[in-house]
Structure 1
Amino acid sequence: MLGTILIVVLLLLLIGAFPAWPYSRSWGYAPTGTLGLIVVIVVVLVVLGQI
């Protein structure tokens, strides 16, 4: 249950970090890449049963 909630929250953060707005274009893909890495780690931990 906690893993599912965590994945949903991280996916929403990942969508929100996408550099689509004019003020965030200078950020590049660093916020999305960092959150994407965290999502991948959490998914792996959920699949392995650690969370």
Structure 2
Amino acid sequence: MKAHHNNALETNMSLSFILLIVLILLLIGALPSWGYSRAWGYGPSGGLGLVVLIVVILVLMGRI
């Protein structure tokens, strides 16, 4: 039983880690660094930053 629990925990943690990496890459990609996106301000990156913050909090609480 314990081996099954550890395996499920590893799978859950690896999925959380992959999700966190993808969200961080999206956050970096949303930074206004091109001419046409400079007028957007920090809205896109701020929104993704909020999502990353929520995911990090959920991971630390053990919900994800």
CA distance in 2, matches of 1:2, 1:41: 16
Give the structure with higher Rg (CA).
2
Aligned equivalent of 1:11: 24
Q: Sequence identity of aligned pairs in percent?
A: 63
Whether 1:35 aligns to 2:48 is yes
Shift of the alpha carbon at 1:2? 1.2
Normalized against structure 1, the TM-score is what? Answer: 0.96
Flag the structure with more relative contact order, 1 or 2, with Cα contacts below 8 A and sequence separation at least 6: 1
Q: What residue ranges of structure 2 are gaps of 5+ in the alignment?
A: 1-13
Normalized against structure 2, the TM-score is what? Answer: 0.78
Larger helix share, 1 or 2 = 2
Q: What residue ranges of structure 1 are gaps of 5+ in the alignment?
A: none
How many residues align? The count is 51
Where do 4+ consecutive residues of structure 1 move more than 6 Å? none
